[in-house]
Amino acid sequence: MSALDTLNSVAFSAFGEHFKWTDVVGNGLGLAGLALGWRRSVWAWPVQLLSGVVLVAAYWSAQLTGGVGKQLLVIAVAVWGWFQWRRGVRDGGEIRVRFATWRERGVLVAGTAAGLFAVVGLFTLYPSLSWNPWPDAYIFVGTVAAMVAMARGWVEFWFAWLAVDAVGVPLAWNSDLKFSALVYVIYFVLVIAGMYAWWQQTRVPRHGGPVLEGAAA
């Protein structure tokens, strides 16, 4: 049995459903990364990176090429976000958060829409890449948009995650990634709590000093 087969073996069964190790470990790390992001910890990024590595195997086994591509891009964005946040701390500042400006929101929405149509077009042109192009592309592009917003310190990061969760639950469940579907439900709770925590931080008075680039008002 190969290492990939071992990772994709059944970790446990419950209520007649089988849960794979890659699905359990990868999404467990994803939850930890989101919780660390809620706490504005730099460690959120390396944990997200490791989650992406494990979930590549999970999506590959489910033949969701779009999911694999998403996780590879998540890994790349996690490296960039890690660099962004580490630079803010190294320069003596703190990881501060804020609401994006209307211009920044427009750029984020336009970029997300353009990315969605581009990825759907790719999946339509090459059907073997995904059996369900629209939701697969939606989650792919939405996750990247959310992580970019997180790296910039925008509260809108949490709204983007809510939008991803709305499609992620049924898609994961129908793709035999049952633990992923359950984790998306837990994500919803964490997202609400994180959104409130970051919103509260935007109300804290600021007193000079360097801050994370992209997160200053």
Backbone angles phi, psi at 154, to 5 degrees: -95, 135
How confident is the model at residue 13, as a pLDDT? Answer: 65
Contact between 215 and 114 (Cβ < 8 Å): no
Q: How many domains does the chain have?
A: 1
The CB density around residue 191, as the number of other CB atoms within 10 Å, is: 22
| Single-letter amino acid, residue 9 | S
Domain-located, residue 45: yes
The CB density around residue 79, as the number of other CB atoms within 10 Å, is: 15
Domain-located, residue 195: yes
| Single-letter amino acid, residue 139 | I
Q: Give, for 158, the enclosing helix (H) or strand (E).
A: helix 156-174
Q: Which domain holds residue 94?
A: 3-201
Domain-located, residue 37: yes
Domain-located, residue 112: yes
Residue 58 makes CB contacts below 8 A (sequence gap 6+) with 8, 20, 22, 23, 26, 67, 177, 180
The CB density around residue 112, as the number of other CB atoms within 10 Å, is: 20
Q: Is the pLDDT of residue 55 over 70?
A: yes
Domain-located, residue 62: yes
Contact between 48 and 33 (Cβ < 8 Å): yes
Contact between 54 and 3 (Cβ < 8 Å): no
Instruction: Give the pLDDT confidence of 130-168 residue by residue, as tens digits.
Output: 777 888 888 888 988 998 999 988 999 999 988 887 887
How confident is the model at residue 108, as a pLDDT? Answer: 95
Rounded to two decimals, the pTM is: 0.76
Report helix, strand or coil for 211.
strand
| Single-letter amino acid, residue 159 | F
Domain-located, residue 210: no
End-to-end CA distance of the chain: 53
Q: How far apart are CA 102 and CA 182, in angstroms?
A: 34
How confident is the model at residue 212, as a pLDDT? Answer: 46
Domain-located, residue 215: no
Domain-located, residue 209: no
